[in-house]
Amino acid sequence: MTAAARPARSLAAQERRFALALLAPALVVLLLTTTAPLVYLAWTSLNRIDLAMPWLSGFAGVDNYAKMGSDPRFWNSLLLTAVYTASTVVLQVILGLSLALLVLQIPRGQGALRIAAILPIVLAPVVVGLFWRTLVLAPDFGLVDMTTRALGLGSHNWLGDPQLALISVIAIHTWQWTPFAFLVLLASLATLPPDVYEAARLDRASAWQRFVHITLPLLRPAIVMVVILRTMTALSAFAAIFAATGGGPGSATEILNLYAYRTSFTELNLGYGSSLAVVLLAITLAISFLMFRLRRAR
Amino acid sequence: MRTATTAAARRRTRNLVLAAIAGVGVAVWVFPVLWGLLTSFKTERDVLAYPPAVFFTPTLANYREVLFGASSILPNLWSSFVVATAATALTMLFAIPAAYALGRLRYPYKRASGFYVLVTQMLPPVGLIIPYYLVLQKIGALDTYVGLAVIYLTFALPFAIWLMVSYFEDVPLEMEEAALLDRAGRMRALWHVILPQVRGGIAVTTIFVFLNAWNEFLFAVVLGGNRVRTVTVAMFNFISVEQTQWAKVAAGAMLAMLPVILIGIFAQRHIVKGLTVGAVKGGGRR
């Protein structure tokens, strides 16, 4: 009997069984490595777990969450997370799009540009952070400081001054990830239909009008996608800041990730750290659901 | 005649200006890395020279120190290699069958299972590190290769599944149907007909998973230790409160990043696809 002659229903049932057999191992792994830890995290966030004073550990109810309300370092980390995420995403999109539009006008050498753009993306964030901390931003001997000194703008403590440190870590993140926005937008720009532009040119539309009325609307899906992905990366940023400033000076660059880490593994207060991690996860998931909803509404 | 030449000249100037601006953009990306490469061949004294020494006698002393000195990173390179390879092998083992099911087969709750995989991809690692630490501590798996490699599945598996789905979807449906009509079992059709079609996709996914595992830092620093200490953690060998040995940091970074830089250049055509795949799928058709 050939497969075609088999009743359709048993074929579908067979396909279903096969699919589940293939999928089950991966789903079990994901349940064990992501979902079960989340449940455990929810539990530890309701406990006092202090590795420095283990005799005080025990169930604490919502104490950890109640504590956040009056914890200025928590509110500071939330604010910094918002500033860090918003500014890096906006900078990456604007710089990436501008550069992609420019490069599209250049007849040759795009290949070399693409390779250059890949370089920051493949580097480990922790190495990027260290590189900037030493070779780029160190007072007196870093590239940036040498430049500002040569230009007569003086030497600055780029990672030691609270305000400059925040700007610096934003610059580091933007440096590493703008190539991503650039590459994606360049690829999308190359697929836009040329005849629309031809028609617009015949209608004597200016370059700016063509950009606003043709390029931007056509590019919208790509831009939305870049914004979503960049937001996710910014919300889980850790290693580059850890390497460059460790969250300091003081708590000047302590985004929520850094605060949760420091609370848990420097101050060894795993209970409070857990509740901060829960807040971080809730925020990330809420923002991603919101963004996907916006995207689907288009 | 005259207007034609001026127009041509203007176009040339315009192209030059454009190229110059793009060139600056590229320089900003490439220069720090080139500077690091240059620094890795300087003596610690030359590093601190101002104005910076462009001409200096290059030395291999930093590389010698980083590889064979007191705080050699050779064991760390080995740790990274073992962890990344094990994590990659495990990931591919689970990801390929799952991706085939998600991309090609009909079964109940398909949308929901795809969405679940996508959500797990979005969880920030800092959010999960505490339970991992507590559980691994309890079962005595801190500072072990197995512990770290299994934990790496959390970020590698969802990513690999979605990347592989995109390759499975590109295989023409007829190939599969022909294979099934040929009385080959489903498993054999998958193995002999479908998998050869996605060889390229498997290679790209493997490369990406390895790259991400090699670059990972947070899990490695918290869940590793003296035995399993990956090279990203070892970058701090040459930095202490008293002094930073800049040239050593640069040499160590160059050695640690050589594999991923080579991978990046080698796989450049696939980088964009690899980086965008999750969102394209999750937000789009499904």
Domain co-membership, B89 together with B181 = yes
Domain co-membership, B142 together with B32 = no
Domain co-membership, B136 together with B181 = yes
**Residue from A270, A281, A276 nearest A74 by CA:** A276
How many domains does chain B fold into?
Answer: 2
A-chain CB neighbours of B32 within 8 Å are 131-132, 135-136, 143, 175
- Measured at the CA of B51, the angle between CA B50 and CA B56, to 5 degrees, comes to 90
Domain co-membership, B200 together with B244 = yes
Distance of alpha carbon B141 from alpha carbon B133, whole angstroms: 9
- A14, A114, A184: residue with CB nearest B276: A184
Contact call for residues A277 and B130 (beta carbons, < 8 A): yes
What is the domain extent for residue B86? 73-283
Q: What is the DSSP string of B82-132?
A: HHHHHHHHHHHHHHHHHHHHHHH---TTHHHHHHHHHHHHH--HHHHHHHH
B-chain CB neighbours of A130 within 8 Å are 235-236, 239, 249, 253
Task: State the smallest CA–CA distance between residue A201 and chain B in angstroms.
Answer: 18
Interface of B with A in 202-221 (CB under 8 A): 211, 214-218
Q: Measured between CB atoms, does B43 come within 8 Å of chain A?
A: no
What is the dihedral sign for C-alpha B85, B89, B95, B100?
Answer: positive
**Residue from A277, A275, A283 nearest A63 by CA:** A275
Write down the pLDDT at residue A102: 87
Task: State the smallest CA–CA distance between residue A232 and chain B in angstroms.
Answer: 7
Q: Measured between CB atoms, does B4 come within 8 Å of chain A?
A: no
Distance of alpha carbon A26 from alpha carbon A15, whole angstroms: 18
- A107, A187, A265: residue with CB nearest B222: A265
Contact call for residues B15 and A106 (beta carbons, < 8 A): yes
Determine whether the interchain pair B52/A37 forms a contact, defined as Cβ–Cβ distance below 8 Å.
no
Q: B195: domain CATH number?
A: 1.10.3720.10
Residue A85, both tokens: 């995420």
Determine whether the interchain pair B30/A119 forms a contact, defined as Cβ–Cβ distance below 8 Å.
yes
B24: nearest CA partner in chain A = A99
Task: State the smallest CA–CA distance between residue B130 and chain A in angstroms.
Answer: 7
Cis before B172? omega within 30: no
Domain co-membership, B138 together with B49 = no
Picking from B64, B96, B112, the residue at the C-terminal end of a domain is B64
Q: Measured between CB atoms, does B175 come within 8 Å of chain A?
A: no
A-chain CB neighbours of B204 within 8 Å are none
Q: Which residue has the tokens 């440190």?
A: A165
Residues in chain A: 298
- A122, A141, A273: residue with CB nearest B47: A141
Determine whether the interchain pair A278/B127 forms a contact, defined as Cβ–Cβ distance below 8 Å.
yes
**Residue from B272, B194, B50 nearest A182 by CA:** B272
A-chain CB neighbours of B126 within 8 Å are 236, 238, 257, 260-261, 277, 280
Amino acid sitting at position B243: Q
Write down the pLDDT at residue A49: 87
Distance of alpha carbon B142 from alpha carbon B134, whole angstroms: 9
Determine whether the interchain pair A26/B124 forms a contact, defined as Cβ–Cβ distance below 8 Å.
no
Q: What backbone torsions phi and psi does residue A58 show, to the nearest 5 degrees?
A: 160, 175
Domain co-membership, B96 together with B236 = yes
- B25, B98, B132: residue with CB nearest A23: B98
Where do the domains of chain A lie, and which CATH numbers do they carry?
A: 6-43 (no CATH), 80-246 (1.10.3720.10)
Helix (H) or strand (E) holding B197: helix B195-197
Picking from B39, B64, B89, the residue at the C-terminal end of a domain is B64
Domain co-membership, B251 together with B184 = yes
Mean pLDDT by 10 residues, chain A (298 residues): 57 85 95 94 91 81 89 95 97 94 80 85 93 84 83 84 93 94 87 82 83 88 88 93 91 94 93 95 92 74
Domain co-membership, B210 together with B159 = yes
Write down the pLDDT at residue A146: 82
Picking from B64, B82, B113, the residue at the C-terminal end of a domain is B64
Spatial neighbors of B151 by CB under 8 A, at least 6 apart, are: A33, B132, B136, B219, B223
Determine whether the interchain pair A20/B222 forms a contact, defined as Cβ–Cβ distance below 8 Å.
no
Helix (H) or strand (E) holding A48: strand A47-48
Q: What is the DSSP string of A110-179?
A: HHHHHHHHHHHHHS-HHHHHHHIIIIITSTTTSHHHHHHHHTTS----TTTSHHHHHHHHHHHHHHHHHH
Q: Measured between CB atoms, does B35 come within 8 Å of chain A?
A: yes
Contact call for residues A77 and A254 (beta carbons, < 8 A): yes
Amino acid sitting at position A62: V
Spatial neighbors of B110 by CB under 8 A, at least 6 apart, are: A19, B102
User: DSSP H helical segments within chain A, as ranges?
Assistant: 8-30, 36-44, 63-69, 72-105, 110-122, 125-131, 143-150, 162-190, 194-202, 207-210, 216-235, 239-244, 256-261, 270-297
- A2, A34, A295: residue with CB nearest B154: A34
Write down the pLDDT at residue B2: 56
**Using the 8-state DSSP alphabet, how is residue B193 labeled?**
I
Spatial neighbors of A262 by CB under 8 A, at least 6 apart, are: A247, A254
Substitution target from B13, B26, B118, B260 for chain A, most A beta carbons within 10 A: B26
Distance of alpha carbon B126 from alpha carbon B128, whole angstroms: 5
Domain co-membership, B28 together with B93 = no
Determine whether the interchain pair B134/A183 forms a contact, defined as Cβ–Cβ distance below 8 Å.
no
- B117, B119, B183: residue with CB nearest A3: B183
Q: Measured between CB atoms, does B59 come within 8 Å of chain A?
A: no
Write down the pLDDT at residue A239: 94
A290: nearest CA partner in chain B = B283
Question: Which residue positions in chain B have pLDDT lower than 50?
Answer: 278-286
**Residue from A242, A131, A138 nearest B250 by CA:** A131
User: DSSP H helical segments within B216-267, as ranges?
Assistant: 218-223, 231-234, 246-266
Distance of alpha carbon B116 from alpha carbon A31, whole angstroms: 10
Write down the pLDDT at residue B4: 67
- A19, A187, A239: residue with CB nearest B218: A239
Substitution target from A131, A132, A259, A296 for chain B, most B beta carbons within 10 A: A131
Domain co-membership, B184 together with B253 = yes
Contact call for residues B130 and A273 (beta carbons, < 8 A): yes
What is the dihedral sign for C-alpha B177, B182, B188, B193?
Answer: negative
Question: What separation in angstroms does the CA of B276 have from each of A220, A232, B156, B265, B284?
Answer: 15, 12, 15, 18, 12
**Residue from B267, B258, B264 nearest B73 by CA:** B258
A-chain CB neighbours of B158 within 8 Å are 30
B-chain CB neighbours of A26 within 8 Å are 94-95, 97-98, 117, 157, 161
Domain co-membership, B25 together with B155 = no
Instruction: Count interface pairs A-B at CB distance under 8 A.
Output: 280
Spatial neighbors of B165 by CB under 8 A, at least 6 apart, are: B99, B102, B103, B281
Distance of alpha carbon A253 from alpha carbon A79, whole angstroms: 10
Determine whether the interchain pair A243/B134 forms a contact, defined as Cβ–Cβ distance below 8 Å.
no
Helix (H) or strand (E) holding A59: strand A58-59
Domain co-membership, B158 together with B265 = yes
Determine whether the interchain pair B117/A274 forms a contact, defined as Cβ–Cβ distance below 8 Å.
no
**Using the 8-state DSSP alphabet, how is residue A236 labeled?**
T
Write down the pLDDT at residue A189: 87
Write down the pLDDT at residue B181: 63
Cis before A54? omega within 30: no
Contact call for residues B127 and B234 (beta carbons, < 8 A): no
Sort B57 into a burial class: Cβ within 10 Å, 0-12 / 13-18 / 19+: exposed
Write down the pLDDT at residue A136: 85
